[in-house]
Structure 1
Amino acid sequence: MDVWESVVGQAQVVERLKKVAQGDSSKIAQSWLICGSTGFGCAKVARAFAAALQSSAKIASEVLAGTHPDVNILSTNKVTTSIDEVRELVSISEQMPSVAPWRIIIIEDVGRMLERTTNVLLKEIEEPAPRTIWILCA
């Protein structure tokens, strides 16, 4: 199974992220910002990257299906992302992964956060808990 098959038209991005996922896990940055214009597919790239970072095909398929317990995704259709939703993710991020090598938190559309909400997130992104990776989509 190729975790990257849903990412179309972004060959350079895919190649760079593949190299990171296949590289030395002790050198992986724990905070990522994936930016793109509307239609770029930031969420698909983030999910594929999260799947690639987890070491086995079984775990990767669960990540892509949105059912893996160590990968949490915040996606909202509301105008703004609530501070309580982000606080919950921060709390989850402080737990060690239960099955996979990494606990991965994906926040889609970080532009929907108010300043006070981003302030809650800031410390966690600057100093993430061990074995935690944050992926933010903008």
Structure 2
Amino acid sequence: MKNHFNSIYSLPPNISFPNPFAFGVRNTFEDPITEGPSNSSMSLGKAQGFYVLDSFTEFTLFHLFTANITEGEHKGIINIFGQVREVDPVRYLTVVGGTGAFLGARGLASCTLVDIDHTPPAKWTLSFDLDLYY
């Protein structure tokens, strides 16, 4: 089976106290963006960026990434960032800019978890709805 996800985790931080929520661990990724949740759905481009686990008390991740849309009617890059709490059913991130068809875009990226495979390295399938303003 083709591996659709590319992800590299940093080494855990060099700390001498308990770290049950992996505080300080970073993941850099390049993952497919598809029209639907299946890897066989029409390809739209790829997401490239990173997240850092940033809480001592729960699983929260600070995300910073670009959605590079290379297929379809609208092509360009959408820049997205914000903190995600793993337990939230809907996670909200901020759209802070874009290029190409998305030049000057800003708005809200609503993210929901479709599926997660916890087998290392963990693979998340996420669904995004974007409300963009120009």
Fold agreement, TM-score > 0.5: no
Greater RCO structure (CA 8 Å; 6+ sep): 1
Query: TM-score normalized by structure 2?
Result: 0.24
Higher fraction of strand: 2
Structure having the higher Rg: 2
Higher fraction of helix: 1
Query: TM-score normalized by structure 1?
Result: 0.24
